[in-house]
Structure 1
């Protein structure tokens, strides 16, 4: 059996990675787990938790999957991508997928573009698709500062682990992400120690990358990386040898 741990982002919930989780659950002999991080969800309180709680939970989840499954994969979105790197650095993980992973955060130009889109909507009554404006507004106005400090501490504490990741990794980033800048994915690709690593950019992808217009393209990249039996390096070797 293959196990897969799907980790959502800061202030988020499992629905952020649900399209991927549901797709993988349809595969034969796959056990997919997408937990709600401590302090998150409708009944959570981010004021009561620290980054250690998040690390502890994903470690326990990874250990449980390792006990039950022959191979374990980890997929992390946004802050969940950093937590996934931490797991991959400490445990024997088969493959790692990082989506809009927040090694760096806040992309001012794209955030400004989202604000402009909001004003356009308010002035003209015509909404532009995939802005997720209400979600951004809610997060900015309702997230406790103490939780933001914990998030920034988590990023700082996990960064040293990134260079120790030897697991084959796929990094996917939306070029129109308003919260995580492109340099975050570039840093991860450059710093991760794995020999086998791939990076893809979705031209119109925004932060909620699993729910955007390019979701099918995203899913195709993930399925090719996780499920295809043939190793991509073999394909590259065949092409170079012909």
Structure 2
């Protein structure tokens, strides 16, 4: 029986956001892993005139293609990709869901301020060029039209009323140091889900790019075990 894994990246991101986990899965299993690039995303951003529907449709087409090649499909969604994963799971037969830093609530102001403070401290010491987080946010801020941010919020609103319709086993991974999605987001999803089999894994050191956390090998192993466990 062939298992396929569809991995969906986040808003203003690209496949690189989930690539470390994809590599881990491919190393440990014979599963088929696919990571589509959503319209306007990837190495260079071109988000103008890209709609929430276009992102969902691209993910849906990738799912249909994967379903032709695999008997069972698991979806892993990162940040906004977690919302799109839930949207697809409402419409198609999906074996399991894995939600990484799923962006169902607004930004965690406290942690973002802490990350800005660290970047500012680096600037004072002349080390700003070495702070990758600062450059990631800087690039995104300069290349994200306000209209695209509103489309992202439309994705949030489209999925929100239907959490209780999801019944697949779900594993949620949330970083305790996430500057974009607050810790309460994971609890919010967990409490609303209709799934009987559901769990939350907290990454002590995880920031928003959870697949690059210091403890990622620990949660990679935990989540892969969840994915591999037979479900009838």
TM range (shorter): over 0.9
Q: Match for residue 168 of structure 1?
A: 169
Work out whether residues 10 and 81 of structure 2, in 8 Å CA contact, stay in contact via their aligned partners in 1: yes
**Counterparts of 1:119 and 1:40, CA distance in 2:** 28
Q: Match for residue 187 of structure 2?
A: 186
Find out whether 1:24 has 2:31 as its counterpart: no
Find out whether 1:79 has 2:80 as its counterpart: yes
- CA deviations on 1:178-219 (whole Å, 9 max, x unpaired) are 011112111110111100000011111100000121111221
CA change 1:219–1:156 in 2 (3 A) is: same
Q: Match for residue 93 of structure 2?
A: 92
Residue 140 of structure 1 deviates from its aligned partner by 2.1
Q: Match for residue 157 of structure 1?
A: 158
What TM-score, normalized by structure 2, do the two folds share?
0.93
* 5+ long unaligned stretches in structure 1: 232-242
Find out whether 1:39 has 2:51 as its counterpart: no
Work out whether residues 5 and 74 of structure 2, in 8 Å CA contact, stay in contact via their aligned partners in 1: yes
Q: Match for residue 234 of structure 1?
A: none
Residue 44 of structure 1 deviates from its aligned partner by 4.9
**Most deviating of 60-69 and 115-124:** 60-69
The residue matched to 1:76 in structure 2 has which SS? strand
CA change 1:130–1:73 in 2 (3 A) is: farther
**Counterparts of 1:140 and 1:38, CA distance in 2:** 18
* 5+ long unaligned stretches in structure 2: none
Work out whether residues 104 and 180 of structure 1, in 8 Å CA contact, stay in contact via their aligned partners in 2: yes
Residue 125 of structure 1 deviates from its aligned partner by 3.9
- CA deviations on 1:213-237 (whole Å, 9 max, x unpaired) are 11112211211111246x7xxxxxx
Q: Match for residue 103 of structure 1?
A: 104
- Backbone CA RMSD of aligned residues: 1.8
Structure whose alpha-carbon radius of gyration is higher: 1
What TM-score, normalized by structure 1, do the two folds share?
0.89
Find out whether 1:227 has 2:228 as its counterpart: yes
Work out whether residues 86 and 162 of structure 1, in 8 Å CA contact, stay in contact via their aligned partners in 2: no
Residues paired across the two proteins, number: 229
**Counterparts of 1:225 and 1:57, CA distance in 2:** 27
Residue 165 of structure 1 deviates from its aligned partner by 0.9
Q: Show structure 1 runs of 4+ deviating over 4 A.
A: none
Residue 68 of structure 1 deviates from its aligned partner by 2.0
Work out whether residues 76 and 84 of structure 1, in 8 Å CA contact, stay in contact via their aligned partners in 2: yes
Work out whether residues 6 and 33 of structure 1, in 8 Å CA contact, stay in contact via their aligned partners in 2: yes
**Most deviating of 23-32 and 78-87:** 23-32
Q: Match for residue 5 of structure 2?
A: 4
Work out whether residues 122 and 131 of structure 2, in 8 Å CA contact, stay in contact via their aligned partners in 1: no
Residue 27 of structure 1 deviates from its aligned partner by 4.2
**Counterparts of 1:204 and 1:11, CA distance in 2:** 23
The residue matched to 2:74 in structure 1 has which SS? strand
